[in-house]
Every structure is written in structure tokens, then in C-alpha cells.
């Protein structure tokens, strides 16, 4: 579903990703972990075309991103990728002036061209799925952080993405709210949704992800089955990172 080959990303003179390769199979949940500044968020942003890159290639489903795509400003391709790939951020990013329902139907109606009635029916189902059926008419500021994040997940799902990317979806939340969000993600995993999840939580990664990739200073230093890799890390920077995380 996702194939990243030799990805190189620079910001000015500093190289942030130095030849990252990664494959994610359909239905797989992949955790990305590693020390702060290692390039995790940048990698996710490259995956859905939010960030240009200088070398290598990314394939998502049948679409292929290369450095040239961004210089050509291949708008149709970038739109297709962003439609295929849902993104959930640490800080929710809901439209503050729209109700939960309006947040959920905005893109399906305006981007996919779904009829309003169908979009509303889907929004109701999705809110059910994230455990917030009664919050249809609420504004984001009337919701707790955990509830807002569950709405953000529902909003991404409303586009029926082939892949969901999560960038530290629970790190702005207290433990109880985080558990609620993690339960939603675990449920998606059981449903076979392909996902890439950046997380600092060893417990969550072990419980939810089959595979883990550890990024440090722009390189993959370790990659493999989550339980095994996190229990017996081989690379010193993985060990240091895990010791700090615990
Ligand atoms: N827009 C930008 N311009 C310049 N440098 C950037 C930009 N975005 C990120 N960087 C740099 O790229 C490196 C990787 O950042 P990134 O946000 O991908 O790390 P991360 O692994 O997600 O870290 P964290 O765990 O703290 O979220 C950092 O050194 C950061 O300072
Ligand atoms: Mg980050």
C-alpha cells in the first residue's frame, strides 16, 4: 500500500531524512517511533504530499510521488494522494466555527461531491463508531480534547481513505482521554484499516502495531515486529529512546 524508497528530505542545508525506505502492506498498522527531531513528522508529511522532498520516491496505492511532482506542481496527483491518505494531527485541527456535523460533511460534499443527505448519514455512522453520536451539533470548543480528537479521526475517515496517518494523536491528551482515542485506533486496526502511527507510547505501539520502524537522525535504525523490536532493541539509539519513554 505504501512504499518509500531512499527518501531524502532537506530543509536548506540540513538533511532531515537521509535515505529512508519503508513498506507498509494493506491492512498493516505500522508504528513510527524514535527520538525527538528524528524526522517522524516530516516523513508523514512527505507521505501525503504535504512536503516536497529532494530524493527517492514514494508510492501510495497506484500513485507515485517523486521530487519532480512538486516542482511540476502536479496538482491533480497531489489532490488524489491527499484524498487517499487521511491525516490526524496532534492538535486536532477541526474547523472551529463549524459544528461537528459540518466538520464531518465539509470535505465529502465539497471534495468528493457527495449529496448532503448521504454525507450526513455517513457522518452519523462515523460518530457512532468513535463513540460520540450525541455530539452532532456541538462546536469543537464545547468538546474535550479527547472528543475533539475522535471527531478529527471521524472527519479523516469520512473521506474513506486507503491509508490513515496519525502524528502523535494522543500526546496532547490526559491518560483517560488518550485511552479513548487509542481504543478507536485499535478498533480501526481490527477492521483492517492501513495505518501509520507516530507515537511515543511503547504500550500503545506494542498493543496496536504489528510492525515498528525506529527513525533516528533521519535514518531507519531499526525495523521489525513491534513486540520483539521494542522488547529487545538492537540499536543503541533505540535503547536510549525506549529507556527515556519508560
Ligand atoms: N519547516 C521546517 N523548516 C526547517 N527545519 C524543519 C522544518 N520542519 C522540521 N524541521 C527540522 O527537521 C528535523 C525533523 O523534524 P520532525 O518534526 O520531523 O521530527 P520528529 O521526529 O517529528 O520530532 P518530535 O518527536 O519532536 O515530533 C528537526 O531537526 C526539525 O528542526
Ligand atoms: Mg513530530
Q: Domains of the chain by range and CATH? A: 2-90+161-245 (3.40.50.300)
pLDDT of residue 73: 73
Instruction: Give yes or no for residue 31 having a pLDDT over 90.
Output: yes
Whole-model pTM?
0.94
Decide: 56 in ligand 1 pocket, CB within 6 A: no
Q: With CA atoms as reference, report the closest residue to 197 among 58, 93, 62, 41.
A: 41
Please give the pLDDT value at position 75. 84
Handedness of CA 52, 58, 60, 61 (dihedral sign): positive
Cβ(71) – ligand 1 distance below 6 Å: no
* pLDDT (average), residues 86-104: 94
pLDDT tens readout for residues 172-197: 899 999 999 999 999 999 999 999 99
* pLDDT-derived band at 88, boundaries 50, 70, 90: very high
**Protein residues within 5 Å, CB atom, of ion ligand 2:** 40-41
DSSP characters over 73-130: T-HHHHHHHHHHEEEE-TT----TTS-HHHHHHHHHHHTS---HHHHHHHHHHHHHHT
User: What is the rounded distance in angstroms from the CA atom of residue 209 to the CA atom of residue 207?
Assistant: 6
pLDDT at site 241: 85
State yes or no: pLDDT of 246 exceeds 80: no
Ligand with an atom nearest the CA of residue 215: 1
CA distance 133 to 91: 22
User: 101-116, pLDDT tens digit by residue?
Assistant: 999 999 999 999 999 9
Amino acid at each position: 500500500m505504501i512504499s518509500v524508497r531512499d527518501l531524502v528530505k532537506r530543509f536548506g542545508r540540513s538533511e532531515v531524512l537521509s535515505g529512508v525506505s519503508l513498506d507498509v502492506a494493506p491492512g498493516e498498522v505500522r508504528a513510527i517511533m524514535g527520538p525527538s527531531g528524528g524526522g517522524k513528522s516530516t516523513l508523514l508529511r512527505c507521505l501525503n504530499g504535504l512536503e516536497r522532498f529532494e530524493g527517492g520516491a514514494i508510492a501510495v496505492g497506484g500513485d507515485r510521488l517523486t521530487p519532480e511532482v512538486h516542482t511540476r506542481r502536479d496538482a491533480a496527483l497531489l489532490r488524489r494522494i491527499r484524498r487517499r491518505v487521511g491525516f490526524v494531527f496532534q492538535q486536532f485541527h477541526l474547523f472551529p466555527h463549524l459544528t461537528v456535523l459540518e466538520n464531518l460533511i465539509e470535505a465529502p460534499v465539497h471534495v468528493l461531491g457527495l449529496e448532503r443527505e448521504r454525507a450526513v448519514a455517513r457522518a452519523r455512522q462515523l460518530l457512532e463508531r468513535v463513540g460520540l453520536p450525541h455530539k452532532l451539533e456541538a462546536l469543537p470548543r464545547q468538546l474535550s480534547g479527547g472528543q475533539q480528537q475522535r471527531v478529527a479521526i471521524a472527519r479523516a475517515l469520512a473521506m474513506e481513505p486507503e491509508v490513515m496517518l496519525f502524528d502523535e494523536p494522543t500526546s496532547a491528551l490526559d491518560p483517560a482521554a488518550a485511552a479513548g482515542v487509542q481504543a478507536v485506533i485499535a478498533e480501526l486496526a481490527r477492521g483492517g484499516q492501513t495505518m501509520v502511527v507516530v507515537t511515543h507510547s511503547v504500550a500503545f505501539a506494542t498493543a496496536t502495531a504489528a510492525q515498528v520502524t525506529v527513525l533516528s537522525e533521519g535514518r531507519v535504525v531499526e525495523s521489525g515486529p513491534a513486540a520483539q523490536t521494542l522488547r529487545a532493541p538492537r540499536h543503541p539509539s533505540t535503547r536510549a529512546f525506549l529507556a527515556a519513554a519508560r
